[in-house]
Structure 1
Amino acid sequence: MSAPTPAPGNTDTTGSGAGIRLGLAANLPQFVLLVAVNALVGGMLGQERITLPLLAETVFGLSAHTAALTYILAFGATKAVTNFFAGTWSDRYGRKPVLVAGWLIALPIPAMLAWGPSWGWIITANVLLGISQGLTWSTTIIMKIDLAGPARRGLAMGFNEAAGYLAVAATALATGYLAEQFGLRPAPFLLGAAYAALGLGLSTLIVRETREHARAEAAAHPTGGHHHAELTTRQIAWRTSIGDRSLSAASQAGMVNNLNDALAWGVFPLIFAARGLSVAEIGMLGALYPAIWGLGQMATGWWSDHVGRKHLITAGMLLQAAAIALVALGESFAVWALAQVLLGAGTALVYPTLLAVIGDVAHPAWRARAVGVYRLWRDGGFAVGALLAGIIADIWDLETAVWTVAALTAASGAVVAARMTETHPEKRR
């Protein structure tokens, strides 16, 4: 007798997953807990958004843009690689051990940022931050996909990414205020110390393992799970990176999206400071973009469940390109604030929707590894963005770096339009 096909919403499964239910309502307490944990993960990133670009110039005296952006390169490269392994390890050892390991690695980071005596300490802290974020953020994504089931995958990713980036925004705003009042160090990084302690406690004591939810979904999947479980990691990496049209289009768009974020993180504060804005004003702009991004994802993830994925991603990439160009053209706080709103809106259209594409296409038996490969490409964009923006800014200027990234973002949207097929199970044609 074949396994029953799961219905949308709350789903009881049989076989090896007996008693496990898929769906947001059926798993609401754990889902809400994981949203809170990912907010803390985002806060760890937010503590750096305003302070480190200014520290590089004013405290450590780094005048070359390529050197000053090395912390983003270190963060992005290590996070990208760790994302890849996080998916494999979460399949092999379970989701919760990987999540807890990520928080353990995060514990020394705030102290290193607050009191590190040289730029090498800041780089090392960002290597640890990349490893920690790769383990924690990847795992919370995988766990929410496990719990949500197929019907509400976009909504689940919207809540996950909204929590993380609203926390980035709130922490960036708070650290900008603290830096204005008490200096760039150590006060802004005390928030990160509290986030790390709380995240570790919640993940160790309250979060529950979700790997069996994925196994139950795989067993009830119309194509079964045995054949798909035999795929090697190399085969999955090929499919996600090149072989599958939709997965590969999502991977390149994710990389360019985070290339944009590296620009916003490392270059925008320098442009704003050079034009005479105060640290508090830079903090407001730095918080506005991830705040719109975070809030918007709660709507766009849900929206993609109803209208499909492809067109939202294409529109989001083109909107980001326009917003980045507006930063280069702007001369006032008001214009830059508008650019940050548009950039946040464009990113909100893209971010949870790309993750939903991975969840749509990848079979449950290898979905966690596909998420890891996608996030390898996506967060590799931090490293590419830091190198590209730094080199172009050193050869020409910061504005030229911004225009280059705007052009790349528009091209990425065109690739999605040409290569991706619609992946939502109810919207495919």
Structure 2
Amino acid sequence: MLGQERAVLPLLAEQTFHLTAYTASLTYILAFGITKAAANYFAGTWSDRYGRKPVLVAGWLVGLPVPLMLIFAPSWSWVVAANVLLGINQGLTWSVTVIMKIDLAGPQRRGLAMGLNEAAGYLAVAATAMATGYLAAGHGLRPAPFLVGAAYAALGLGLSLMVVRETRGHAHHEATTTAQPTGPTLTSRQIFTRTSFTEPALSSVSQAGLVNNANDGLAWGLFPILFAAHGLTIGQIGVLASLLPAAWGAGQLATGAASDWYGRKPFIVAGMLLQAAALALTALGTTFWIWAIALSLLGAGTAMVYPTLLAAIGDVTHPTWRARSVGVYRLWRDGGFAVGALLSGVIADLYGITTAIWVVAALTAASGLLAAMRMYETHPRTRTHSRRSTP
């Protein structure tokens, strides 16, 4: 559902709706980010209250109209409205799949589970971005690329109704075997404060997630326009738009499992710094191949970060409030889409796209350094090994 937009919507804004201001053209990402962030928060609370599967099904019901609205949109406001629904769809469905896999995976395999979950999603984003780029090149920006999204929405709803099973009972069982006396008594406000600000690992994870998705909002909204300005074809733009999520998705098959052995913190810190370097290379580049390398590196850095951030949440939180903590983290993380769209759009309007990329690169590097200073290692095996190795 996200892949149908990555190569096509920035070009649709410029070529079909004639939006010349970058800030205006990025309003759909702003709307998506705000609504997805809010839906993430409520997904955690609702999945604890009503169960995981009902929230998953509700998310797919909300997503059904999105492709049709993009196909028939007579004005840009329809595109923005479609992305409000898409944000709700993504916030509910993706948050719940994360929570369900944490329910099912034991503490020693959370990184692997998160890697599989995020790899499945972002490899699909990559494949769809490439496919819709070629469909747009051959058949126009509408309707062909968005028919793929319509098929996805129908499949998602059908699988959620017919195949997916409820997993909340697994979390309840784990809670009976987990000794953490302060966990069950935490209120939602306490969970929000702890995840956002006071607990060093959880707050480090939240800020890193926000900055990570801020640079993805920049890549999603402005990179296709930058590439088109340098004479690349729609087909080439589709290939470049697919490289970031492809490296992102495939890399998580390795990084999530590796963090189960080597710890979460090294992957989070190194991943943020690699993303910053990749953004700098994008700002310096002017050719297809330089950008192909830069986006592959950006995807690799994101792959180091994405599953390990979620696994770290699972490491630190108690099963009775884990789903709500995941919701808070994803509130901050996907709020990064809105932050990235607004910040990069304003800077691009004032000083150009290249300057916007440099600013976001600097913020990404600062985020990695902050995690290096503030975060402790969260993985139980790695913490135990470190204590045994200390004289």
Give the TM-score of the pair, scaled to structure 2: 0.97
The whole-number CA distance in structure 2 between the counterparts of 1:386 and 1:263 is 6
The count of residues paired between Structure 1 and Structure 2 equals 384
Q: Which residue of 2 aligns with 1:24?
A: none
**1:135 maps to 2:105:** no
Q: CA deviation at 1:206?
A: 1.2
Q: CA deviation at 1:212?
A: 0.4
**1:342 maps to 2:297:** yes
Deviation sequence 1:314-360 (CA, Å, 0-9, x none): 00000000000001100111100000110010000000000001000
**1:234 maps to 2:189:** yes
Q: In structure 2, which of residues 211, 228, 237 is the aligned counterpart of residue 282 of structure 1? A: 237
SS of match in other structure, 1:117 = coil
The whole-number CA distance in structure 2 between the counterparts of 1:360 and 1:228 is 13
**1:5-404 counterparts in 2 under 5 A?**
44-223=1-180, 227-404=182-359
Q: CA deviation at 1:228?
A: 2.1
The whole-number CA distance in structure 2 between the counterparts of 1:223 and 1:379 is 29
SS of match in other structure, 1:152 = helix
Deviation sequence 1:241-295 (CA, Å, 0-9, x none): 0010000000000000000110110011111000000000000000011001100
Name the amino acid aligned to 1:111: L
The whole-number CA distance in structure 1 between the counterparts of 2:210 and 2:58 is 25
The whole-number CA distance in structure 2 between the counterparts of 1:331 and 1:125 is 33
Higher helix share: 2
The whole-number CA distance in structure 1 between the counterparts of 2:341 and 2:279 is 16
SS of match in other structure, 1:62 = coil
Q: In structure 1, which of residues 384, 399, 423 is the aligned counterpart of residue 378 of structure 2? A: 423
Deviation sequence 1:391-418 (CA, Å, 0-9, x none): 0011110000000000000000000000
The whole-number CA distance in structure 2 between the counterparts of 1:205 and 1:82 is 23
Point out where structure 2 has 5 or more consecutive residues left out of the alignment: 387-391
**1:412 maps to 2:341:** no
The whole-number CA distance in structure 2 between the counterparts of 1:287 and 1:207 is 28
The whole-number CA distance in structure 1 between the counterparts of 2:346 and 2:94 is 29
- Identity, % of aligned pairs? 70
Name the amino acid aligned to 1:56: A
Point out where structure 1 has 5 or more consecutive residues left out of the alignment: 1-43
- Name the Cα RMSD after superposition: 0.7
Name the amino acid aligned to 1:184: L
The whole-number CA distance in structure 1 between the counterparts of 2:77 and 2:293 is 36
Deviation sequence 1:178-231 (CA, Å, 0-9, x none): 00000000000000100000110110111000000000001111336xx52221
Q: CA deviation at 1:100?
A: 0.1
Give the TM-score of the pair, scaled to structure 1: 0.89
